[in-house]
Amino acid sequence: MIDDFAKAYLHDNLRWVRASLLQKLDGVSEYDARRPLTTTGTNLLGLVKHLTLSEARYLGGIVGRPFPEPLPQFDDPGFVSRDQLWVRVDESRAEVVERYRRACAHADATIEALPIDAPGHVPWWPRPDVMLFNLMVHVLTETNRHVGHADILREQVDGVVGDDPVSTSDDAAEWAAHRERVEQAARAAGSGASAPRD
């Protein structure tokens, strides 16, 4: 009973966070979906491409249900992780998003088909013998981490915050005042002085 509950709970959360990731692309131009917004080149569409590998590998091949489409492997000669975190000009946005959706559908089928204690083997992990439970937690954690990145990237692009892809922050003046309070506190802490209180 608890195994079924745990699997359903993790799966529901994974579905929710996947949708949140794709919402970050709503209303964004082709350029803004792809452009590097950090020193290391992190970009919205690249995060989707990267998470396609996570879904397909961890909730597919690792438990004996390989994703039917060719994908780079971690042990391929010349594989570099950062190459999967950006989108080449010959890769369309629609292709990247649809491949992610297909990888998620394949992962969903795996989750539905297997018990939560189904065995898997991840040779690059310190404890390589795992269960579907471990893999679900890993993919959920990984996706949440990158959705957090996507939240910040989207805010940099056009000010959209939260789960509503069409509205910016509630009150620009209020957010500006809040940001200034945060800045003052940081400056005061950095100089050893006391920060002003509200």
Do residues 37 and 156 lie in contact, with contact meaning Cβ atoms separated by under 8 Å? yes
- For residue 84, the model assigns a pLDDT of 87
Amino acid identity at 7: K
- For residue 75, the model assigns a pLDDT of 75
- For residue 2, the model assigns a pLDDT of 77
Q: Is 105 exposed, middle or buried (0-12, 13-18, 19+ CB in 10 A)?
A: exposed
CA torsion, ordered 34, 39, 50, 62, to nearest 10 deg = 170
- For residue 157, the model assigns a pLDDT of 94
pTM above 0.75, yes or no: yes
In the structure encoding, which two tokens stand for residue 187, read together? 């400056």
- For residue 164, the model assigns a pLDDT of 59
- For residue 14, the model assigns a pLDDT of 98
Q: Residue 196 and residue 185: Cα distance in Å, rounded? A: 7
pLDDT tens by residue, the chain, 198 residues: 679 999 999 999 999 999 999 999 999 999 999 999 999 999 999 999 999 999 999 999 999 999 999 988 777 888 888 888 999 999 999 999 999 999 999 999 999 999 999 999 999 999 999 999 999 999 999 999 999 999 999 999 998 887 655 555 567 788 788 889 999 989 999 887 665 666
Q: Residue 125 and residue 47: Cα distance in Å, rounded? A: 22
Do residues 61 and 110 lie in contact, with contact meaning Cβ atoms separated by under 8 Å? no
